[in-house]
Amino acid sequence: MEKNAATSAIKVVKLTKTFGNRKAVDNVSFAIPQGAFLSIFGPNGAGKTTLLRVLSTLSRATSGSARLLGIDIKQEPDKARDHIGLISHNSMLYPDLTAEENLLFVAELYGIENAKDRVLEMLDSVELKHRRHDVVRTFSRGMTQRLSIARALIHDPAIVFLDEPYSGLDPHAVEIFDGLIEAVRKDRTFIMVSHDLRKGFDMCTHALVLSKGTVVAFDEKNSLDFSDFSQLYAQTVGMGVA
């Protein structure tokens, strides 16, 4: 990966995050180019979500560094935040505000010009324009997740983090979600944390396996097929296919 370091969308060097004496993320290093889709795998407690929280600036690293589009997230977190979108199993939507109010709130905080037009455009894109005046509390899980995609992408981020985005979605909602992600994928860089080995592998260009906070495998997908990868996963993590 070092050959891509100059054009890396995300470059992580010896990143460590500790909680008390416990190292949740231990000396993690990797780099991915712009447009890559990195899937992070690992058993519960491997440090996947902690790593994602550090990279998305929600949590501070204990040591090491991470650069998003060349921006050091420790030195210039606000500058990095301009380019980050996060879609997680938590929708980050206020349940007592309408769909439109939720997106308008975020758009105004980002300082998006013509915020109202942008909000309507995003609502139209996720097919929720007809429900824009309804409070989010009345939405199904699938609709909420679609709205959370619109929320995460309203400022057109170059890097999108996905934290267990399929959690609680029914198969139809998963299909819609996949379509939406595919639609915005070109040239954006994605990092997804998932327990679903098959889905994560199908979507990714790069795969990273974490175990007990450390990287036990990291590679581009094109050199692997799924059976090789699931075998590697089972060997490194000591588990079968999720």
Partner 1 sequence: MANLPGATGSTNAVSTTSAQVRPTGFHHYLTLLKKDLTQEFRTKEMLTSMGIYSLLVLIVFGAALAQTASSFDILQMGGGLLWVLIVFTSLLGLNRSFSHEKENGCLEGVLLIPLDRSVIFLAKASSNLLFLLAVEIMVIPLFYFFFLTTTTPAETFWMIVFPLLVGTIGVAGIGTLLSTITINTRGKDVMLAVLFIPLIYPLLYACVSATTAVIVGGEWTMDVYLPALALAGGYDVIMILLSWVLYDFVISA
Of the candidates 66, 122, 173, 209, which one interacts with partner 1 according to CB under 8 A? 122
DSSP 20: T
Q: Which is nearer to partner 1, 82 or 219 (CB)?
A: 82
Q: Please, what is the minimum distance in Å from the beta carbon of residue 84 to partner 1? A: 6
Q: Does 56 bind partner 1 (CB under 8 A)?
A: yes
What is the DSSP pairing of strand 159-163 with strand 189-193? parallel
Q: Which is nearer to partner 1, 122 or 192 (CB)?
A: 122
Of the candidates 118, 132, 206, 221, which one interacts with partner 1 according to CB under 8 A? 118
Query: Quick check: 3 and 190 in contact, CB under 8 A?
Result: no
Per the rule left: phi > 0, alpha: psi between -120 and 50, beta: everything else, 20 is left
Both structure tokens of 129:
């324009």
Longest dimension (CA), the chain: 52
Q: Please, what is the minimum distance in Å from the beta carbon of residue 44 to partner 1? A: 19
Both structure tokens of 144:
């909420």
Q: Please, what is the minimum distance in Å from the beta carbon of residue 20 to partner 1? A: 13
Q: Which of 178, 180, 198, 208 is nearest to 55 (CA)?
A: 208
Distances (CA, A) of 52 to 45, 57, 60, 92: 13, 9, 11, 16
Site string for partner 1, 61-100 (x = CB under 8 A): --------xx------xxx-xxxx-x-x-xxxxxxxx---
Q: Name residue 48's amino acid.
A: K
Of the candidates 20, 111, 171, 223, which one interacts with partner 1 according to CB under 8 A? 111
Q: Under rule CB under 8 A, which residues in 178-207 are in contact with partner 1?
A: 179-180, 182-188
Grouping H, G, I as helix, E, B as strand and the rest as coil, residue 174 is: helix
Of the candidates 18, 27, 29, 34, which one interacts with partner 1 according to CB under 8 A? 34
Query: Quick check: 125 and 51 in contact, CB under 8 A?
Result: no
For partner 1, which stretch binds (CB under 8 A), given 14-22, 25-33, 174-182, 201-209? 174-182
Query: Quick check: 192 and 49 in contact, CB under 8 A?
Result: no
Q: Which is nearer to partner 1, 28 or 180 (CB)?
A: 180
Q: Does 129 bind partner 1 (CB under 8 A)?
A: no
CB count within 10 Å of CB 93 equals 23
Chain positions contacting partner 1, by CB under 8 A? 34-35, 56-58, 60, 69-70, 77-79, 81-84, 86, 88, 90-97, 101, 105-106, 108-114, 118, 121-122, 125-127, 135, 151, 153-158, 176, 179-180, 182-188
